[in-house]
Structure formats: structure tokens, C-alpha cells
Amino acid sequence: MSYNDDEHAIVKAAAERERQATASWIGRVSLDVAEEIVVPTPVNAKAVVAELIDARKQLRRIGVNYNQIAKVLNSDGVVTDPEMLAVHRALLMAIRRLDEATLQVMRERKERG
């Protein structure tokens, strides 16, 4: 294996985080990738996954809001147009965020594949 100084520092730091000798760490990680035990992902993938998690949480909250609206309507209650519009806008925004993050994951997978 051959690394420039910057690459070597990155690899060495990763090995130290796992309390392994650099050569041992390189060997283990190389085999894990070769055997497809792990799939390398870019660092920005963490941000995309975080966005997906946040979008899922938001959609869950909106689902609760819709269920509450349905309960009110089923009991002959009244839901105002502004209340319904606010929930609808939040739903559209969460769907858009989820779509964007999903497309980003798909683009990254395509680039690797």
C-alpha cells in the first residue's frame, strides 16, 4: 500500500480510533470491503441519512396531525381551513425533503455501481 502524507495521516487516525496498528486496520478494512461486508460511502452520506431520518420523523408527526383531524371530523367537529392548510403544507415540505434525500442516495449508489 502506498499513501501520500495526508492519506497516511487519515488512515493512521482511523486505526488509532479503533486501537489497532495501522497495517492491521488496513488489512481488516480491505477484506471487509472486498468481501462486501461493508460498502464504502462518502462522508456526505451521513448528512443524507440524517436528512432521511429527520424527514421520516416529520412525516410521522404529520400523520399524527392528520389522524387528529380525522378524529375531529368523524365526531362532527370542525377543522378550519388554516389548520388544514398548515398540515397540508408541512406534509408537502416533508415529502419534498424525503424525495430530495432519496434521490441523493440513489445518485451516490449509481456513482459507486
What distance in Å separates the CA atoms of residue 6 and residue 17, rounded to the nearest whole number? Answer: 17
Among 20, 27, 22, residue whose Cα is nearest residue 11: 22
pLDDT at residue 3 tops 80: yes
Q: Where are the domains of the chain?
A: 5-34, 44-112
pLDDT at 19: 93
pLDDT of residue 15: 92
pLDDT at 111: 64
Contact 87, 58 (CB under 8 A): no
- Given the C-alpha cell 380525522, which residue does it identify? 70
Q: pLDDT class for 1, splitting at 50, 70, 90?
A: confident
Give the pLDDT of residue 112.
58
pLDDT tops 70 at residue 109: no
At 19-43, the pLDDT tens digits run: 999 999 999 998 888 887 876 666 6
pLDDT in tens, 59-92: 888 888 888 888 888 898 888 889 888 888 988 8
- Joined grid coordinates for residue 23: 497495517
Question: Quick one: which of 28, 27, 37 has its CA closest to 1?
Answer: 27
* 113 has a pLDDT exceeding 90: no
